[in-house]
Copies of this chain bind each other. A is one copy, B any other.
């Protein structure tokens, strides 16, 4: 959801025999493409890295790269945690203030992403900060998550999910989290990402003047 969350981990030993050879190959290809992309970007930068080079190193054809990822930016950014996040949001106790629920779930997503692979998280945030196309794509993907958040807020507050106020709050949240990510990258990842997210949520809840909770 934050875009910093990691891609799903490779199939664990338990379910590997469950999957057919076809499925396993697909996962392998996906990861080969991503690994090749990360490596090339660190060597030469984002713009200088072409799809053809990625295909070469991943040992697939360029067509295959596009079959797996709709755009070059998606190779870097794609994660598939959104549905899990919504589920977790729904699982929060009904009497918990909804802002706390959002805080909890956001923090969990961040933790999961950073724990999965801190190096990838850093590379991603760096690219988000430095490459406009990547930043745009991330905002777009976060907006989708925003719609989900509208749903969750609506359920908790009894408002309509399409109501302007709800949508504005959700999108403000997205914007704030994006800025936190930028801040993290621009300051060389010195601060803890989780702490930055916490401060971000404070601003959203209490405004700029508001005391820290």
Which of A11-19, A53-61, A112-120, A167-175 contacts its partner?
A167-175
Given A136-B139, A164-B199, A183-B164, does the pair A207, B207 have CB atoms closer than 8 Å? Answer: yes
For the complex, what is the distance from the CA of A179 to the CA of B157, rounded to whole Å? 20
Question: Which residues from 168 to 190 on chain A have a C-beta closer than 8 Å to any C-beta of chain B?
Answer: 168-176, 178-180, 182-183
Question: Which residues from 157 to 213 on chain A have a C-beta closer than 8 Å to any C-beta of chain B?
Answer: 157, 164-176, 178-180, 182-183, 196, 199-200, 202-209
For the complex, what is the distance from the CA of A176 to the CA of B169, rounded to whole Å? 7
Q: Which residue of B lies closest to A172 (CB)?
A: B172
Closest CB in chain B relative to A145 CB, distance in Å = 13
Closest CB in chain B relative to A208 CB, distance in Å = 5
For A166, the chain B residues whose CB sits under 8 A away are 208
Chain A residues close to B by CB (< 8 Å): 132, 135-137, 139-140, 153, 157, 164-176, 178-180, 182-183, 196, 199-200, 202-209
Can you identify 24 A-B contacts, CB atoms within 8 angstroms?
A: A132-B140, A136-B136, A136-B137, A136-B139, A153-B208, A164-B183, A164-B196, A164-B200, A165-B199, A165-B203, A166-B208, A167-B179, A167-B182, A167-B183, A169-B176, A169-B203, A170-B179, A171-B176, A172-B173, A172-B179, A172-B203, A173-B175, A174-B175, A206-B207
